[in-house]
């Protein structure tokens, strides 16, 4: 999927899976999956945003309460954090395109 997007001229970025709260036995598999995502991105020189670490409690690695009400889905704060991380790590230095219908003065 990433290769096809890159070939089509689309700027891609992978986002690691966030942790989980309430199902500690599923934290390890999520970390394993994230390792695969990170390795894939490193081999192909693609940006990879670590949403797991950014939203996990440092000691338990559980999804932190401010980022999820139910232990699985992100809250508005979680999506705000994701947007900030994507902007800062992937899109900050991307040139912007003019808005449709914008005129250029010379």
User: How is the chain split into domains, by residue range?
Assistant: 2-91
Per-residue model confidence as pLDDT tens for the chain (106 residues): 788 888 888 888 999 999 999 999 999 999 999 999 999 999 999 999 999 999 999 999 999 999 999 999 999 999 999 999 999 999 888 776 566 665 555 4
The CATH classification of domain 2-91, taken from the options 3.40.50.150, 2.40.110.10, 3.20.20.70, 3.40.50.1110? 3.40.50.1110
How much is the pTM?
A: 0.81
* Cα 34 from Cα 14, distance rounded (Å): 10
Residues sharing a CB contact under 8 Å with residue 69, sequence separation 6 or more, in sequence order: 75
């Amino acid at each position: 999927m990433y290769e096809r997007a890159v070939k089509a001229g689309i700027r891609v970025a992978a986002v690691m899976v966030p942790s989980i709260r309430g199902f500690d036995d599923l934290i390890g598999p999520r970390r394993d999956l994230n390792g695969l995502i990170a390795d894939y991105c490193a081999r192909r020189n693609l940006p990879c945003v670590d949403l797991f670490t950014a939203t996990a409690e440092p000691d338990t690695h559980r999804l932190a309460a401010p980022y999820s009400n139910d232990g699985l889905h992100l809250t508005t704060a979680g999506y705000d954090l994701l947007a900030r991380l994507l902007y800062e790590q992937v899109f900050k230095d991307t040139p912007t395109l003019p808005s449709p219908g914008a005129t250029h003065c010379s």
